[in-house]
Structure 1
């Protein structure tokens, strides 16, 4: 009878056990790898050994984090399919083209279709020529039409328009809407092959919105927003254009009507003054004090209201303001010395630091009387008949502004106009300001400037675009679009201006919607012909969520600017696997490098959510370079930065392929950058979701004041009970798009069930926060399960809430393993008020109390806010043995200085200190735990008992393991309060390893394993041998790795603490060999025979571990994101823990 050999029998039963137990063990968190760290496929014997070690190990650890591949829905675009299969082709193309103007009602779109015309072009036929009237919107249905421009005697191709693409100028359409005539001056279009073109007259929009003024206002705002983001902002930022974009235009030409001298001598005498001291908080309430004649200090801003006592019997009809103020300065003391600390009433308190001299003229709304307000010197008395002049000034300003805005209601305008006298140097608008007003220059000059980055330098220069002279407007573009200001506006000389705030402008616009057309026209008058040429070549493209913009390897003939939405870049490897490369948000440009170099697309790009783009063709970029050669220098700089970024990204990509950096979650630095919208979704019904969204909103307000929080109740309150119905889709989409454009970030709070509002939140989100209670069961909720079943392309992040009394989180691995792929997880220690019971009717009281509290930047909600806005601060701790104990003082100093730490990492002793802070966030606890380590490292008894035969190391490592394990216990890296990482050296595969999950004490111990003293630590995941993070075959990657990982995990600024040994180069030349006995003799007799400098064994080990880090760190600290810190610890050596 055949008998099995023992080895065959063992192998048979082992395979049987392996087949039956593998699945169950994977569920328990014990997975058996198929490949080694070096990429070699493990055979069954090796995998069985790993499994056996885990099954029969004496101590069973907590669950291990399961590595998950990115879902295919995040990496693949949807298949192309017709969105409206029942619509005629020409109607579908027209629908796609007019989407740039926003969402239209069905009736409006049908009315536009009635004006649609179709024309057939043979090869060589002109679609339009120079000199023809510019009043059409064209869409190519079949064939191809090229756009050309005349440059001297040559015609230059700007763009190619193929089937489905449109050809029009938004500025020309705006001219038609404002009833201004426009012609083709330099551009023309010609068919390069037989083509069918659809055309729509621009005046069709006027007719379609004749009874829908609000929609017409939205179209104008959309056009102005596109112009600011693309024509102004993008071309300025990326191509360095500034003065080329605008031209100065005077709106009014003033005639010579000199003011009689009787009106100019009103300054001479006065009988009574009313003094109103400005309130401290800048409010409208002031205290009045009546006095006969009050001397005023020049350092104290006061407002003098001049109330008239008698009215002049006769006032001539003076048509303009120009010559009134031509004679006023010397007669009324306008240029006398005035106060130095004044500020414009109504501006917020943060603007008060812009010290200036100012003279304001205001309107008293309660009595209907006018008053001049100005700081004056004690030698300049004011006459009580000043009201007459102020009345004339305001009346003429109102008349001029009525003409500008196209309204006849002067009384209403007077309620919203404020006259200001600003002195030389005062800054009215700062570039990037959100709260901007419209300024009308009455007298004087304003400087309109812009910051232009210097290529190759860190500094920037301020370029004057034009000077706003009397009769000109500034600030209207930012007011119309709601975008941050594109310009700096300051007074060149003492000037008088009229101000209309944004709130006042919109109040008037609600009553007279056509104001927006006239105001937009004042902007168009300043646009240079060069900008109009650019506008013709631009195309506007809408990409729905999941649809591909272009594919890898396709032809690159254009670049895109993201106006709204989000794009994801995916790289297809040679082995067929796909890798997430980057994500791009509002205002960013994509495809630039390939388009300029003429190369094919390096990656594929698809939309994360509905995305709106501006397409800049290659021919347009070449035309800009010919017209303005200075652009070439800017493009070279941008391409250099892009190439350098690609090199760094490639290095990180290679690291990911070998599991070197962030193999737990992947590189999220560019994935969660530039977020515009965030959806907040509950994991269960007991989550205080509204309070969480309020707390996050409050924390974000400390970063930006342009944060908006929305939920279904707010939407219904603002847009009506039926706002979420399907028939109101266009209205809601427009409203949300407008607020996303005008806010830095919008928080979408979902409902607790999959309602239409919840679906809308997920659809609008750049990222989704799944909020759960950390003390609850780590199961997937019903809404979460429904979310997993949806094709959601937004990245997801798990937020675990914890009560204030909890020592540390637990079961984080179970929370993560039970869910699909997550970008990141974060622990929030909540304030006690969040878990209190609050009725829904009293939530507004909760919010009102919350906003009165100062933002705590050390709170976890603030940390989450910084992560979402890309402003996180990372602390990176280097290795240096006993010198690393000084890192406790660094952490305490950061706390005392008010600098929060959002993530932490390190190597060697830095890994130990970083783990302590991430686990406890308490300096006193760090000291207590560090003393345990110091006692063990200084104990001779423990060292003697731990001695072993020095085959691998001098010590067995058992004593050191007990000390580290007693400090960190069973804490896992996932359970730490702060995101944490540590670096080790894998001597099995000769690679550097970055650990972001697993047992904390093991990887801290591995990162502190000094060669020769302690044996390498076996990684419980794959059995690889791990040593101190200072050892690496490539020192260049080593020192920068910590900063690189911190940046990869989303840090904006990195504080790098270096405690390594200082470089010593002045060593004694001892020849070709060295005797230890001679060194011993020199140590005893060096006082008389002269001391020598030769490194001992400890110094050599220290240099091997830490000096290599120091050299590359010098390169890292020169970057703009890294702050280098080195405490004075030179006198301490690596193993002097007893000191």
Structure 2
């Protein structure tokens, strides 16, 4: 694209019209003009991209440039720059990162002011450049405020001019962590918009502990209802990170209302309606910033960060920041160690905010001691991750005790990651780490095993995939086929849960057993049968089942599984659903596999626990609570209708007559299921009714393999049932994976297993009962 550059006099005139250099002396404008480089840009050309290192400023001579930012796969239009407008502002301290992108909407003629020449002139003429640098810093703050408003659900839809007027009406302030922003019952004289940082909203009532209402971050607002209605503050708002907020007071709000009555009225009325609709919902933000605290001095936290960063970058732009990186960016030692009251703090806060704008996820690696940088890491974090060597002593050391004391006062999520040797088998002793700590979650990773770090990254970013396996007696073997199909399509499961037979298979999967081992071990468990007993409590004693499960799982604890696991049971003493997430795996599986009437209830703290199918045979809702933001695949092996076409039994049923009908081929056929099938089906009815109501809205993919024709007690046909689940799931996944946002297929190759060639091992033996 050919274009003639402006003359020197035209350059000086153009520079003088710009907001950054307006009012400067003519000789300074001439000096600046000599530093500028002319460039012509064709329509639809990307001038610079969000996340790139800033290398200079741009001034528009002719044309229109669109400034936009990309967040959560959405393009947010920030502003438009035309003749004499400036764009591409950068920080004066530290290596600056572009927090926005610039696109030429038309053919453009631009002037480029390189950062190097800007810095050189600043050093040569510091007094002359003071007004320019002051305006540049304000422009950077203006850009961050614009982004917050574009992210805000309150101000969505307002045109660019109204947003500019709104920014001009705001007052910007820095709020240190652990500071009360709004106090409950105070007069509501202003509202606040979060520019960066994070706040906890809670309400004091008659209870000893405040009621947690929300955690809010960039672009979210508080106090607008009180500003409109004149009511007092309804809650306390507390800074849990170093933050920046914009205040809109009552006078400024009334001026805006006079300027734009229709638009401002619609904006705030919509906010009131939304608040009323969501009044009972507790809202939390997905974490974007993480503080990593290394509790084991001999571990290499940099190697851990390299593996974690690789996993994070599968989902978004991500970066690790250390005190050394900050020192290098500011080109002086101990730049990272300034505290909130230091004169350099404002520059550091702005630089960190720019990093967070340019990257969707930031990992702040704390130093090995409690210094200003470590404290800043905690204040910047939405989520604190403690790293420890699993083979170390689990005691809380002095540094961790100090950090926990500071963290327990706010709502920041806390996670423990235990690192194991690369060839480690099943973890042990995890509960000793968890008991003395108040944590939200824990995960296991093996050193340099990238798949473990990828799973951790998916949990940290809200992209984890949860798999729910329902109960269904022998039909549950279809779950093994589902797991094989998922593996072949490269779909990584991060968390697993289930009920009854689904709980047993979920536990085996969480132990990372392969499909052949799962099939053989579970089939052996089920066809073994159990001892009948005097039917005062149940038909079977449960002794054989207990011994078999103990032989499979030993004394493994749920906390020691490689991936998060849960199963459910029904507490018939209290009529509640029990969710098993800790304790021995054996106790949890026995409770989840105790159908009433067939097996005796399990006793826990004096209460009676039976098969969870009574209340929730496919606990998708539990998975949704445990995996917020992630995706869920639910596998249902039960039909709503079953045991149909039975013979009329008016006058009663004689067991002898039924037995004679089955043994004598010439006797009239009596279609009636046996006691075991009836009790098994009856135990599922409540859970089936529940799961039909909720499966549509909670599961991202609902699978129901066609296994209705297999009997509930057909454990000897396990291989055929598994193959049916495999074939069905393989076809379903082809369409599902093409939809946006679903787990893409990876080029994985897997050896063929016995599931590819199903065989039937004979007739159904009598009185064979396994996991339900």
Task: Pick one of 415, 423, 426 that aligns with 1:805.
Answer: 423
- Contact conserved, 1:593 with 1:642, CA < 8 A, in 2? no
Measured in 1, the distance between the counterparts of 2:167 and 2:679 equals 65
**1:937 aligned to 2:526?**
yes
C-alpha distance in 2, partners of 1:1087/1:598?
86
Q: What TM-score, normalized to structure 1?
A: 0.51
Secondary structure of 1:993's partner? strand
1:984–1:1029 Cα contact (<8 Å) kept = yes
Deviation at 1:1051?
4.6
Equivalents in 2 of 1:594, 1:1104: separation in Å?
54
Residues 1043 and 1054 in structure 1, CA contact (< 8 A), matched pair in contact too? no
Pick from 600, 614, 618 the counterpart of residue 246 of structure 2. 614
| CA displacement 1:474-510 (0-9 Å, x = unmatched) | 96589999675499x575xxx4224678xx7545543
What is the aligned partner in structure 2 of residue 976 from structure 1?
Answer: 561
Contact 1:478 1:486 in 2 (8 A): no
Partner Cα separation in structure 2 for residue 446 and residue 721 of structure 1: 39
Cα–Cα, structure 1 residues 948 and 865, in superposed 2: closer, same or farther, change >3 Å? same
Q: Describe the shift of the 1:479–1:418 C-alpha distance in structure 2 as closer, same or farther (beyond 3 A).
A: farther
Deviation at 1:1018, TM superposition (A): 1.3
Tell me: CA distance 1:519–1:594, structure 2 relative to 1, closer, same or farther (3 Å): closer
Asked whether 1:891 is paired with 2:474, we answer no
Residue aligning to 1:141: none
Q: Say if 2:119 is the partner of 1:510.
A: yes
Q: Which residue does the alignment assign to 1:919?
A: 511
SS in 2 for 1:1030: helix
Q: 1:1011/1:745 Cα in 2 relative to 1: closer, same or farther (>3 Å)?
A: same
Does the Cα contact within 8 Å between 2:317 and 2:361 map onto a contact in 1?
no
In the other structure, the counterpart of 1:289 is: none
Q: Which of 423, 427, 437 is matched with 1:820 structurally?
A: 437
Work out the CA distance in 1 between the residues paired with 2:68 and 2:288. Answer: 28
Q: Deviations over 1:163-202 (max 9, x none)?
A: xxxxxxxxxxxxxxxxxxxxxxxxxxxxxxxxxxxxxxxx
1:638 paired residue number = 274
Is 1:413 equivalent to 2:4 in the alignment? no
- In structure 2, the CA distance between the partners of 1:806 and 1:579, relative to structure 1 (3 Å rule), is farther
Runs of 5+ unmatched residues, structure 2: 22-28, 123-128, 147-157, 718-772
Question: Which of 661, 684, 699 pairs up with 2:296?
Answer: 684
- Could you tell me whether the CA contact under 8 Å between 2:50 and 2:69 is conserved in 1? no
Following the alignment from structure 2 to structure 1, what is the Cα–Cα distance between the partners of residues 47 and 682? Answer: 56
* Alignment correspondent of 2:726: none
Q: What is aligned with 1:830?
A: 447
- Structure 1 residues 821 and 1076: CA distance shift in structure 2, 3 A: same
Query: Offset of 1:734 from its aligned partner?
Result: 2.5
Matched-pair contact (CA < 8 Å) for 2:11–2:33: yes
Q: Assess if the C-alpha contact under 8 Å between 2:51 and 2:97 holds in 1.
A: no
Q: Using the TM superposition, name which of 474-483 and 902-911 deviates more.
A: 474-483
State the aligned residue count.
670
Alpha-carbon contact 2:602-2:610 (below 8 Å) kept: yes
Query: How big is the shift at 1:955?
Result: 0.5
Distance 1:597 1:897 in 2: 55
Q: Deviations over 1:344-382 (max 9, x none)?
A: xxxxxxxxxxxxxxxxx4xxxxxxxxxx6xxxxxxxxxx
1:1133 counterpart = 2:711? yes
Q: Say if 1:474 and 1:723 are closer, same or farther in 2 by CA, change over 3 A.
A: closer
Look up the match of 2:217. Answer: 585
Which residue number in structure 2 is paired with residue 701 of structure 1?
A: 313
Partner residue in 2 for 1:881: 473
Quick check: 1:679–1:761 contact (8 Å CA) kept in 2?
yes
- Aligned-residue offset at 1:1129: 2.5
1:739 matched to 2:331? The reply is no
| 8 Å CA contact retained: 2:60, 2:111 | no
Root mean square deviation of aligned Cα = 4.8
1:774 pairs with 2:390: yes
- 1:496 and 2:114 correspond: no
Task: Classify 1:450/1:695 alpha carbon distance in 2 versus 1 (closer, same or farther; 3 Å).
Answer: closer
Q: How many Å separate the matches in 2 of 1:626 and 1:904? A: 51
Deviations 1:1059-1109 (CA, angstroms, capped at 9, x unpaired): 222435976795977646799599879999999987765555455444544
Q: 1:1057 aligns with which of 632, 635, 643?
A: 635
Distance in 2, Cα, partners of 1:1018 & 1:751: 48
* Structure 2 counterparts to residues 541-560 of structure 1, below 5 A: 541-551=173-183, 559-560=191-192
- C-alpha contact 1:561 1:590 (8 A) present in aligned 2: yes
- Equivalent position to 2:579, from 994, 1019, 1039: 994
Equivalent-residue separation in structure 2 for 1:756 and 1:997 (angstroms): 37
- 1:967 paired residue number: 552
Summarize the alignment of residues 354-393 of structure 1 with structure 2, pairs less than 5 Å apart. Answer: 361=1
> Residue 1040 of structure 1 contacts residue 1116 of structure 1 at CA under 8 Å; is this kept in 2?
no
Does the aligned pair in 2 maintain the 1:1006–1:1017 contact within 8 Å?
Answer: yes
* 1:644-667 CA distance string (max 9 Å, x none): xx25x5xxxxxxxxxxxxxxxxxx
Cα 1:890–1:636 shift into 2, 3 Å: farther
Contact kept in structure 1, 2:677 and 2:713, CA below 8 Å: no
Change (3 A) 1:551 1:935: same
Over 3 Å counting, the alpha-carbon distance change for 1:596 and 1:903 in structure 2 is farther
Residue deviations 1:902-930, cap 9 Å, x none?
A: 2222222222122112222x424xx3244
SS in 2 for 1:510: helix
Instruction: Specify which of 1009, 1017, 1020 is matched with residue 594 of structure 2.
Output: 1009
Residues 626 and 1077 from structure 1, CA distance in 2 versus in 1: closer, same or farther, beyond 3 angstroms?
same
* Paired position in structure 1 for 2:614: 1031
| In 2: Cα distance, 1:984 partner to 1:394 partner | 81
When Rg is computed on C-alpha atoms for both structures, the one with the higher figure is 1
